[in-house]
Structure 1
């Protein structure tokens, strides 16, 4: 009992913001469900005729909210004001490097191009040893966060120092296979006291020098990049592969190009698979219910959601396994984002079918239950601390929602 009440994780303002966004995007349900309570007719055709205008309004609202949500996410990608987004991108970059999918320079070239659009005419550049090369402050902050785990990995005695050999090993982990003579030159420049040991600040300075010297013309002048693709599964405890042969010897900007093309290819293939198998999956679920005698209600609201939303659940679960406050917040934000997508894009597709196929809205019980669950989660999101007992309550919402839907339908609701 003490564990249930006194153990938990700390939330963040971003989680509260995500809960509010979830409620804002849910207003499309009210546009169709409100009139559906009062519209009636002898046939479904009469009901659908009365609901047609509201379905169109709901479709337009979903489209506007979806576009607004995408714009909001795009704005977050251009700033460092959202800590959850920054933490998520940091995890992506680090895992891509550790899995050998891209090098440090490949990641930092994207950062340099990103910074060029924001700070090329602003303050925030740092000088290094009086030289002409400098990184924008925002890039330095991100570089420090990115490098910290690699530094700590070889700082076995927690002294905050790395020797020359450990410095080389870190560079190898960063997928930068640099000549020993070049690494020695970098090390000697930053080891100002000639102790053959460097601290974290000196290490970051050395890596920053390396990044700038290897960037095209040593300047920042390229257009902003697209976001790096979806994070890989957690593999911190596994042996990591070397950089793929087709990317290992490419220039950083070419690595970025191939990573983006590979991401676009995988997204295209994934979309094609969904289009090919979604209709057969619906048929299979229908036949499964007929042959087993299981009610279509349980097929539609138990099996189908588990199949369609499994990716979000698995991704959030993998992040939460790291058991840090940062990754827990990322998990919460990912699930809230999935809810916002369901409230906008998925509901918009549904509204499209309702309007253009002249269908009647007969989902009052399900809609009310969805809204009740989202309200409960939004209220919970406003809290600063989430205890274990809160997790138990959230977990109970799923079976409770099924019971509410079944009860409302038993009372004659659509």
Structure 2
């Protein structure tokens, strides 16, 4: 960028080395805070249910890559005589961000989420029946390289395949660059020769960007309780449960809404109505009508955490006294009604309520629209027959038993965790009416996102100049300085998020954590690369980054193989994975070293 007396930024060429280091730190910290503003502002929109699908699947991934994308963009917009060094900053940012995300946070997730690896090679996520001393990691702090680790879900394979497809865009520019890398061509001649291939790569990676967003959006609305987007939503609710901000009444109300939407999309046949004695005016969730199984699965995923909350003595059963507390929280305060509901819910008549009986009871209470408002002298309560019918549905679900065991065995874990930041609307907005709260959330969210984006746009050109100058002072390519520094400024939040999320020590949490990192790599392969190639096409620049490109491809292929071949990843795997980060730098240096081939 051009510096003058009216420019608010300092010309880095006028600074000594300590001053340059300080300025790099200031700019990096500023970009870090700006990326947090963008992230926090977009996450506010998740509190508007109607926007949740599009925000989680499209807006958050796009805004998350904005800082890297802007550095990449501005790296090619400088003066022609300086553009070669500045473009090295852009490709260093692209390579460093992609490789860092797939190595350091991934290894951190394995470390923080590690549990004991059993003899059969599975992870110790389930409590053995009757074992009251069981812990997921035994002894606490166990650092065995081969006998501790994590087990990831099958979702990583699909995401790894998608990552493999999106990185194919690099080949479209890299293969012609190999042929044009001859001494007889000048830099400008090589740029003109590769110009059309830069355009093809720009379009190709842009198409993959649209395909990736469409895939993510489809996943966010998929009616599957195991989807990554649904898992994130449930985990947010679970955090609110442990903070006392989400109640049983909220859960029942949410179930009724989702169930009514789901059943409303499928007409009940006339034969079914005649057989069950239903009329057209009867509510869709009336007893006797078919219940939507998917809504029950989603509700159960939340209810298991309420079960842990009310199970005060941690015996994995709800006693009569504990059940009274549940009844009070759903608006049933009369003891005779509480006793009747307990007896009807105790299907096996063993004097306590199991997790399946608890889920069945709460689902039927929600279906009867049980609330404070309808507790009259003779409230319409669930009965043993209706609860038993739901119990048969819950008991017969394909994915139930493993999820219940994992959730109930993890009941004590949250009590020992440090309190995390609240994941709820700001205090000053909580008490507002729904319409006003929505309006203020939208206003505050867009204000934060616009302010963060404005900071990124303002500081990215200056950051490019600083990183380029830092490389000159250290007598190394600006690629290396940007490879290390830029991702720290733009992706430091991913390191913290990977640690905090994986430490829940469940298969789902580690799967979501690693899937998010794969998604970030896909965004770099599509949006960032498309912007970069569009800039190269516009400026007719030569692609002289074969070594850097190969390092990106090699790391992504290795992580794809890991995702496919090793669902169980040990602490030793974490060490190998994190070593890919410095090894990739060494790989680039070796390929560019004149004594070893001198690749561009």
Q: Tell whether the 8 Å contact from 1:106 to 1:256 is kept in structure 2 after alignment.
A: no
Local SS of the residue matching 1:69 = helix
Q: Tell whether the 8 Å contact from 2:241 to 2:247 is kept in structure 1 after alignment.
A: yes
Is the counterpart of residue 74 in structure 1 residue 260 in structure 2? no
Q: Tell whether the 8 Å contact from 1:115 to 1:139 is kept in structure 2 after alignment.
A: yes
Pick from 539, 543, 562 the counterpart of residue 361 of structure 1.
543
1:91 maps to 235
Cα distance change of structure 1 residues 353 and 130 upon mapping to structure 2, 3 Å threshold? closer
Question: Matches of 1:114 and 1:258 in 2, distance apart?
Answer: 26
Equivalent runs, 1:37-116 vs 2, <5 Å: 37-40=178-181, 42-81=185-224, 82-99=226-243
Q: Tell whether the 8 Å contact from 2:251 to 2:299 is kept in structure 1 after alignment.
A: no
Pick from 555, 567, 586 the counterpart of residue 403 of structure 1.
586
1:309 maps to 491
Question: 1:268, CA displacement in angstroms?
Answer: 4.2
CA offsets 1:111-144 (integer angstroms, 9 cap, x no match): 76666665423389xx999737986321221111
Larger mean CA deviation between 318-327 and 244-253 belongs to 244-253
2:404 maps to none
Question: 1:62, CA displacement in angstroms?
Answer: 1.2
Q: Tell whether the 8 Å contact from 2:345 to 2:361 is kept in structure 1 after alignment.
A: no
Q: Tell whether the 8 Å contact from 1:154 to 1:162 is kept in structure 2 after alignment.
A: no
5+ long unaligned stretches in structure 2: 1-142, 269-282, 375-413
Question: Matches of 1:370 and 1:334 in 2, distance apart?
Answer: 18
2:294 maps to 138
CA offsets 1:37-96 (integer angstroms, 9 cap, x no match): 112564322222111111111111111111111111111112144544433332122224
1:160 maps to 317
2:67 maps to none
Question: Matches of 1:100 and 1:255 in 2, distance apart?
Answer: 20
Question: TM-score, normalised on structure 2?
Answer: 0.56
The alignment covers a number of residue pairs equal to 388
Equivalent runs, 1:262-301 vs 2, <5 Å: 266-290=448-472, 295-301=477-483
Question: Matches of 2:585 and 2:168 in 1, distance apart?
Answer: 22
Cα distance change of structure 1 residues 159 and 106 upon mapping to structure 2, 3 Å threshold? closer
Larger mean CA deviation between 135-144 and 286-295 belongs to 286-295
5+ long unaligned stretches in structure 1: 173-177, 219-233
RMSD over aligned Cα atoms: 4.1
Larger mean CA deviation between 150-159 and 186-195 belongs to 186-195
Larger mean CA deviation between 259-268 and 140-149 belongs to 259-268
Q: Tell whether the 8 Å contact from 1:144 to 1:204 is kept in structure 2 after alignment.
A: yes
Cα distance change of structure 1 residues 67 and 243 upon mapping to structure 2, 3 Å threshold? closer
Is the counterpart of residue 388 in structure 1 residue 571 in structure 2? yes
Question: 1:35, CA displacement in angstroms?
Answer: 0.6
Question: Matches of 2:239 and 2:352 in 1, distance apart?
Answer: 27
Question: TM-score, normalised on structure 1?
Answer: 0.78
Pick from 204, 213, 223 the counterpart of residue 359 of structure 2.
204
Cα distance change of structure 1 residues 106 and 57 upon mapping to structure 2, 3 Å threshold? farther
Question: Matches of 1:292 and 1:103 in 2, distance apart?
Answer: 58
Is the counterpart of residue 24 in structure 1 residue 173 in structure 2? no
1:228 maps to none
